[in-house]
Chain A
Amino acid sequence: MIDTHLPALVVVLPLLGGLLAVFAGRGVLPWLWATLVASATFAATIALLMKVQAEGVVTYAMGGWQAPWGIEYRVDALSATVLVVVAAISCVTTFYARLSVAKEIPKDRHNFFYSLWLLCQAGLLGITITGDAFNIYVMLEISSLTVYGLIALGGNNDRRAFTAAINYLVIGSIGASFILIAIGYLYMMTGTLNIADMSAKLTEFYFKDEQLYGTKNATIYVAFAFLMVGLGIKMALFPLHTWLPNAYTYAPSAVTALLAATATKVGIYMTIRFYFTIFGVQFSFGQIPNRVILMACACFAIILGSVIAIRQTQFKKTLAYSSVAQIGYIVLGFSLLNVSGIAGSIVHIVNHAMIKGGLFMAVGAVAYRTRVTSLDALSGLGKRMPLTMAAFTAGGLSLIGFPLTAGFVSKWYLVTGALESGLWPLAIVVLIGSILALIYVWRMIELIYFAEPREDAPTREAPWSLLLPTWVLIGASIYFGIDATLTGGLAESAARMLLGNP
């Protein structure tokens, strides 16, 4: 009974849970409720992944209305993987949130905070699981609206959070509106909103038009152009990343960890869905010089993102710009259009979620003990907070792509993919990116272990309820660095599915 409704549960649980969290009152109860809901959702996604691995694609007709008329939920290897990542990170960050939120957000707002928190997860999971184009837009707006609110909550500590939130709101709404326009044009051409149906009709229309009239169908091109910009904003692809650094820097610590690990990843998932599933490789990369554009943006993101990260004086901002660079790696991966490249980009979605989530949690643990966020606040913390800093160092090494870390696995796939396509300059860009990452990570490690502690440096280790979730993510990233059969296997089967040769 519950088995058949699993896909619906994944979205309904956090959606209803989020609404109910408002009534949980004050104190520890809202957190307890959020933890319960997030854990249940995580369990549901795991069950779903196992079902997909056993039976193949799982579909679910919302409310019993059959596709293509009703809203269809569709789970394949790719969406199941992303679902598990999002739900796992949400679950771990919810555990982490209790102390961090208690410190950074006024007591009377906790129920609202956890309400937004769960609704945001519902939106992100909804984007991933849905098989309906308009539903993607609705879920996108659910997750975006809650994220704007969550970022603005950081304004209780630093007023710049408000400006970061309004900037993201304006840019993000324009991006989402562009996606809405594109979906409108696609609906105009195909008369359907179901992704599978739309994809079949689109290819048919496009090539029929060219045969019959000898001209290209302009509407589809316009839709594609709007999508490229809208999706670029949502996944923070250089040069559309301007909202990201401030939003990550001034949001509450727990929110930064959740955002950095999930929000942009889901944006990338959407991009892959639109480019590969709806338009198809033949159109997205054959008819439009999209491949060159994506590769150029990705290379700029990797190099410039890392260079700007080196120049930052606040450690949260360094990590935020490093995220811009990491998104470059992921985009570079799928624009290679071969199994290794796409698998590399999916593996990096998983790995980077763990690495950045863990890093921002370690940063949050530092913020819990000291208010200062400038780079030299890290001085000598290796002696004062050894466990937190060990996690931070392990995460940093993974960002560089040090062997035996998760980052190495992703980069291995990417370099292999680049060489398979014969594009060795891209492999060099990946290596230069690693060297630049070495510089900004080393600057922090040097301060942590080889500098004298400042006078206002914290004297105690972070509490265990912050340390444990941090180490869960960092430990997972080390585990998947040593044994990548699970992530690699999932990613490769998803990559084959996207390229249409299972």
Chain B
Amino acid sequence: MNQFEIFNYWIYVLIMMIGFYGVIAKKNLVKKVISLGLFQTGIFLLYISMAVVEGGVAPIADFKDPNAVYANPIPHVLMLTAIVVSVSITAVALSIVVRIKLAYGTIETDEIEEMDGAE
């Protein structure tokens, strides 16, 4: 197994870790939400990569060619669900961020913590 074969997995870890770093390090809530989205997108790549079958084609039954090799469709289907989940999380997160902006007048976590500490 050379490193190029598992190129996708390197990229998945890279994307995921960039997102993870953003979630932890960024103080701006919108940037946090963006990073969370990036983090989850990395996971989609993991699943899609594992579905690859060498020489496989799209899994639509081809009755003319009994020896056809198909890519595994299940991870793709799972990721459709995960994309929906990820979008919902972003939507809920952004709507809470809007309410935070209205209630606090800021979306910087350090400023919010300062205001909460004063109460």
- Note all chain A residues with C-beta closer than 8 A to B47: 184
- Asked if A166 and B93 sit within 8 Å, CB to CB, the answer is yes
> Contact between B99 and A152 (Cβ–Cβ < 8 Å)?
yes
Task: Flag whether A217 is at the interface (Cβ < 8 A).
Answer: no
Interface segment, B54-62, B63-71, B80-88?
B80-88
Judge whether A173 is part of the interface by a CB distance below 8 angstroms.
yes
Residues of A within 8 A of B92 (CB): 145, 148-149, 169
- Contacts A141-B85, A148-B96, A169-B93 given; does A184 touch B46 at CB 8 Å: yes
The reply to whether the CB of A496 lies closer than 8 angstroms to some CB of chain B is no
Given A181-B43, A188-B50: A174 and B100 interface contact (C-beta under 8 Å):
no
B residues near A, CB below 8 A? 20, 23, 29, 32, 36, 39-40, 43, 46-47, 50, 74-75, 78, 81-82, 85, 88-89, 92-93, 96-97, 99-100, 103-104, 112, 116, 119
A166 CB contact (under 8 Å) in B29, B39, B82, B85: B29
CB of A162 closer than 8 Å to a CB of B: yes
User: Which residues of A127-175 have CB atoms within 8 Å of chain B's CB atoms?
Assistant: 134, 137-138, 141, 145, 148-149, 152, 155, 159-160, 162-163, 165-166, 169-170, 173-174
**Chain A residues near B112 (CB-CB < 8 A):** 163
Given known pairs A159-B104, A162-B99, the reply for A187 and B50 (CB within 8 Å) is yes
Q: Residues of A at under 8 Å CB distance from B?
A: 134, 137-138, 141, 145, 148-149, 152, 155, 159-160, 162-163, 165-166, 169-170, 173-174, 177, 180-181, 184, 187-188, 193
Knowing A138-B85, A145-B88, A145-B89, the reply to whether A162 touches B46 (Cβ < 8 A) is no
Given known A148-B92, A155-B103, A159-B103, contact A184–B85 (CB-CB < 8 A): no
Q: A152-B96, A152-B99, A188-B50 are in contact. Are A180 and B82 (CB under 8 A)?
A: yes
Whole-angstrom distance between the Cβ of B102 and the nearest chain A Cβ: 9
- A148 nearest in chain B by CB position: B92
Contact assessment for B78 and A177 in the assembled complex, using a CB-CB cutoff below 8 Å: no
Partner of B23, one of A162, A170, A187: A170
Q: Which 5 A-B pairs have the closest CB atoms?
A: A159-B103, A141-B85, A162-B100, A166-B96, A188-B50
Chosen A-B contacts, 5 in total, with CB atoms closer than 8 Å, are: A145-B89, A162-B99, A162-B100, A170-B36, A187-B74
Known interface pairs A145-B85, A181-B43, A184-B43; 8 further A-B residue pairs with C-beta atoms within 8 A, sorted by A's residue number: A138-B81, A141-B88, A159-B104, A162-B99, A166-B96, A170-B93, A188-B50, A193-B74
Pick the contact of A170: B32, B74, B116 (CB < 8 A).
Answer: B32
Q: How many A-B residue pairs have CB under 8 A?
A: 71
Chain B residue nearest to A134 (CB atoms) is B78
B89 touches A173 (CB 8 A): yes
Residues of A contacting B36 in the complex (Cβ-Cβ under 8 angstroms)? 170, 173-174
Are B103's CB and A180's CB within 8 A?
Answer: no
A155 to B119, CA, bound (A): 15
> Which residues of A lie under 8 Å from residue B116 when comparing CB positions?
160, 163
B100 CB contacts on chain A under 8 angstroms = 159, 162-163, 166
Report the nearest B residue to A152, measured CB to CB: B96
Nearest neighbor of A192 in chain B, beta-carbon distance: B74
How far apart are B75's CB and chain A's nearest CB, in angstroms? 7
Report A466 CB to chain B, min CB distance, Å. Answer: 28
Residues of B within 8 A of A187 (CB): 50, 74-75
CB within 8 Å for A177 and B40 given contacts A163-B112, A166-B29, A170-B23: yes
Of A155, A180, A184, which contacts B50 at CB under 8 A? A184
Alpha-carbon distance A495/B50, docked complex (angstroms): 36
Complex Cα distance A127/B17, Å?
Answer: 28
**Which A residues touch B96, using CB under 8 A?**
148, 152, 162, 165-166, 169
Cβ contact within 8 Å between A177 and B39: yes
Chain B residues with Cβ below 8 Å from A138 are: 81, 85
List residues of chain B with CB within 8 A of the CB of A160: 116, 119
**Contact across chains for B43 and A177 when beta carbons are under 8 A apart:** yes
**Which A residue's beta carbon lies closest to that of B46?**
A184
Residues of chain B contacted by A134 (CB below 8 angstroms): 78, 81
Give Cα A163 to B108, complex, Å.
Answer: 11
**Neighbouring A residues of B39 by C-beta, 8 Å:** 174, 177
CB distance from A206 to the nearest CB of B (A): 19
User: Chain B residues with Cβ under 8 A from A174's Cβ?
Assistant: 20, 23, 36, 39
